[in-house]
Amino acid sequence: MNYSIIARCARSGQIGIALASESLAAGAGLDAAVRPNVGAVLIQGARSFRLNRLATNLLAQGHGPAQVLQQLQQADPDFDLRQVAIIDRENTLATHGGAAVRPWSGIRPGSAYVVLCDGAADGRVAEAMAAAFEAAPGDDLDQRLLCTLEAASAAAGMGATTGLPVRSAALVAWGRRDYSDLEVRVDMHEQPVKELRRVYADMKPSVEYYEQRSRNPSKAMHHREFAGLLKAQQKQEQS
């Protein structure tokens, strides 16, 4: 089973993708999938680095998502094996559900987001994902994306899947810089979405520290000291 979401936050301008897959290291499939301040593409079913680059290059050249989708189809003889979602900085969406993608497969577009799912028993996983993403519009985009994966995992655990269990998960969020604001991956795990949440809990509050450290390494707090402060803070929050 595979499930994923691509979305743009109107408030922050961030574009993000989150996914979970029965394949190993599925996060590697997000290479070149996002172009900051331009747009992003999400390909599921049969991923393609080549199509990722083609799509984001076309978006950067000014082509709209529908035009990009058309050109991907013309360039790809295996397009029917793929689910595709494209979003640009204007929140314009374009989607494709290949006729040869394994059932149950579905695409649920919403306001500035698209949910994709394949290998499910029915539409419950996709519906749970859409509901979770829409539940907290004021939260940070990365938090909303992770909650969407958790909703999918819960729905799949209730028998809403006929495929293999997921083994990897990933979450990326890009803003206006030429590098990601946040990127977390779990490449092989029995409960990858749960593990993604565990890693995210450490990574999210560390983003600002690593940003400052990269700019002023000589003045930055030692990473061991920062790690100790972070664990102490988490312990206090849990008590």
| Within a domain: 232 | no
Split at pLDDT 50, 70, 90, the class of 206 is: confident
Q: Is residue 198 part of a domain?
A: no
* Whole-number pLDDT of residue 216: 84
Instruction: For residue 182, tell me if it sits in a domain.
Output: yes
CB atoms within 10 A of CB 134: 13
In 3D, which of 159, 144, 140 has the Cα closest to residue 110? 144
Residue 215 lies in a domain: no
Candidate from 99-103, 119-123, 199-203 with smallest mean pLDDT: 119-123
In a domain, 220, yes or no: no
Q: Tell me whether residue 48 is in a domain.
A: yes
CATH code at 141? Answer: 3.60.20.10
pLDDT at position 231 over 80: no
Helix extents (H) in the chain: 49-60, 65-75, 124-135, 141-157, 192-203, 207-215, 223-238
**Cis amide bond preceding 104, omega within 30:** yes
Encoding tokens for residue 93? 């969406």
pLDDT at residue number 163: 66
Burial class of residue 117, CB neighbours in 10 A (0-12, 13-18, 19+): buried
Domain ranges, residue 125: 2-190
Domain contains 209: no
Span 84-106, pLDDT tens digits: 999 999 999 999 999 999 999 99
Supply the pTM of this predicted model: 0.91
172: nearest Cα among 60, 65, 41, 84: 41
Residues 30 and 49: their CA atoms lie apart, in Å, by 8
Residue 233 located in a structural domain: no
- What is the total count of domains within the chain? 1
Ramachandran sector of residue 28 (left: φ over 0; alpha: ψ -120 to 50; beta: rest): alpha
- Per-residue pLDDT tens digits for 51-94: 999 999 999 999 999 999 999 999 999 999 999 999 999 999 99
pLDDT tens digits, one per residue of 11-50: 999 999 999 999 999 999 999 999 999 999 999 999 999 9
Question: Could you tell me the sign of the dihedral formed by the alpha carbons of 218, 177, 111, 31, in that order?
Answer: negative
